[in-house]
Every structure is written in C-alpha cells, then in structure tokens.
Amino acid sequence: MDHSPLGDEPAPGPLDGVLVADFSRVLAGPYATMMLADLGATVIKVEGPGGDDTRTWKPPAVHDPDHGDIATYYLSINRNKRSVVLDLTDAEDLELARRLAHRADVLVENMKPGGMARFGLDHAAVARDNPSVVYCSISGFGSRGGAHLPGYDLLVQAVSGLMSLTGEADGPPYRAGVAVFDVLTGLHAALAVCAALRHRERTGEGQLLETNLLSVAMSTLVNQTEAYVAAGAVPHRMGNEHPSVFPYQPMPTADGDLIVIAANDGQFRRLATVLGDPAMAEDPRFATMSDRIAHRTEIEERLRARLATRTAQEWYTAITEAGVPCGPINTVDRGVALAEELGLEPVVRAPDAAAVPTVRNPVTYSATPPSYRRSPPAMGADSGEIRAWLEK
C-alpha cells in the first residue's frame, strides 16, 4: 500500500499509503471515505459532470469569492479529498475511471445495485485486474429483492420503523432531525473497510463488502428491534419517554425543561435526595427500575412538583453536583459552545488558504490521530493532476 500518485508528503495516520477511489455521492459513502481520509488515506472523489448532489443542497451556504456559495451540507462530509470530474458515458473518461479502480486499494460506491456493472466497474470486473481491491458497495435495500429501490434516509427511517418510534404517543410519526441511517451506514462501511484491509495485510486477498441502509437500521435500532425479534413486543411512540428507563426525559422546571436521567437505583436515590424528597427512593413501589416503570405516573407527579420550585439552571447545577445526569435542551450553537467549554475542540481547519471550518473527527487516538490536511475540494479541483497521473 504505497500510493502517492500526486506527490503528496506522507499523510499522518494509520491509513497513509492507502488509495481510495471514491465513486460515491450524497452522504453515506462520502461520510465513510472522509473517515478514511481523516486517518491518512488518499481519497480521490470521482464526480460526474453535474457534481455531487450535495453541492446543490443549499441554503445554508458559505460564500467563497472564487467559487460562489458552497453548500455546508457538502462541506460537512468531503474534507481531506481530491476531486476529479469523469463522465462515465464518455469512452476516454471511462477508461481513466477504470485505471483508477485498477490502481486503488479501496473502491467505495453507492450507485443503485447493478449501476457500476454498466460501466465495467463492478467488483467482478475490477477484481480481475486488481484482485487485492477492497470493494465496498453501499445501497438502500441490498442487492437482492430491494435492488431496484432507491435509497434515501427518510425512506428508510419510515420503512424500518424508526418514525413509528419518534414523536408523541398520540401524534404523527416524525423523522429524526439528521439522516441517522446514512451516517451510521457510512460508519459501518468505514469499519468494514478497515477490517478488510487488515485481512488483506494478512492474506493478500481483497474482498467485496456490501452494506445497506435498511440492514444498518435493523442493527442500530438495537433494543427496539431486539424487543420484537426476541420477545415479540412491537415498540411504539412514547414521546420523549424511554420504554425501559425512568426518569429519562425532559422535565419542566420553574422556567424551562431540563433533561433528567436516573438510569440505575443509585442515581434515583441521589436524585430523590437532591430534590428534597428522599422518601421517594425508600418507597417500595419505586425500589427497582421495573417498579419505577410500573409506577412512572406517580413518580413523575412528585418529580414535577419538586422541579417546579427552582429554575432549570439552579437544578442543573445541583443535580449535576449530586452525580446525576441532567442537562439543558440546547440549540446546535449552544451544543458547539458546550463542546468548546469542555475542551473537546469541536471545530478544525485545514492549513490551506481556502480553509473552511469543519467538525472534528470524533475519535482521539494517542498514537495515530486524525489529520485535517485539505478543505473539501471545489468540483474538479484536482482533475488536471489526477488525469495526468492516470494517463501515465
């Protein structure tokens, strides 16, 4: 794995020397390849003449004097990459795309199943000339019965059951406020690529990896899907309440809501004490979590009565000092500010002149930290260099 096709200095990180041909677009694939790029991989983002769809998903946007308004959606998932424009319907460009695939250590694509085969870029075709390639295909519903279905996060939130769990019990279903299954699919894809690279290191063998949004949804609904497959229990909307933990929800104070959590008996005892109602924790009706779930209405009335006596900030300070989880319901700007206050340094910039702020990779490594070498590329920014390399 020794590819520095464009004369780059060695990239810090465990994936330095890994060349990724990124034929993906929108969110799941680009998120996966950004995770790989953060860890040192050289990622070449292949875009058609129209560019990645997310370049047009604005507002919001950041204005660049050379390139106009750039969608923040695109910026969020394309750091540390190079962009080349290749029209796969053009014979010369298709030949360059095939050369890239044949030189790559990793290829990531999220066309509808069968789409890459139209161009001779499917796994079987690429592996004939590049048998050690780690080839990762991402789809909405897999390559079997759901191969014809388009994969959009909102669609999968609906059909997987997530939306049936989101919203008030007597209200309509809601989607999550972010494309959760796209992001989680990207994370699973990146993990799979790293595992396959380790297998290749041991055996010299590449392999085909396939994941899809619906399978990821089934896995990442965790306790909700397990409730059904193991116990036959079909979960339902409970608003902000939790089916198995109480309290675990927003609770009103004198001036606003506060998240209050008591996930075990010790936390519940401390919560009762700090609220000035220690007898609540001694009541045999509330002794265990199962007891508290069975009597949540009675407990909630007592909690509300106590919380109404002070402000959210006052209770936040007191409850946190007691070692019980709680917190305000922040807007995104306050969430970023909290991360900064806690020393998590959530915002990073690449060193290039066109640097825009992006959100830090969420993992801290003691020996091989992520690096932020390049801002998300303008469309085709590296076409000249990459084409010249591929033509050699």
- The answer to whether residue 182 is catalytic is yes
Give the distance, in angstroms, between the CA of residue 368 and the centroid of all CA atoms in the same chain.
21
Structure-token pair, residue 119:
């161009």
H/E stretch holding 89 reads none
Cβ distance 368 to 13 under 8 Å? yes
Coil vs helix vs strand at 171: coil
Task: State the Cα torsion 364-370-372-373 to the nearest 10°.
Answer: 160
Alpha carbons 119 and 22: distance in angstroms, whole number: 15
Minimal CA–CA distance to 209: which of 151, 133, 144, 156?
133
State the catalytic residue, choosing from 16, 153, 182, 382: 182
10 Å CB burial of residue 331 (0-12, 13-18, 19+) is exposed
d(CA 78, CA 81): 6
Q: 187 vs 1, 26, 140, CA distance in Å? A: 22, 14, 15
Q: Catalytic amino acids?
A: 182
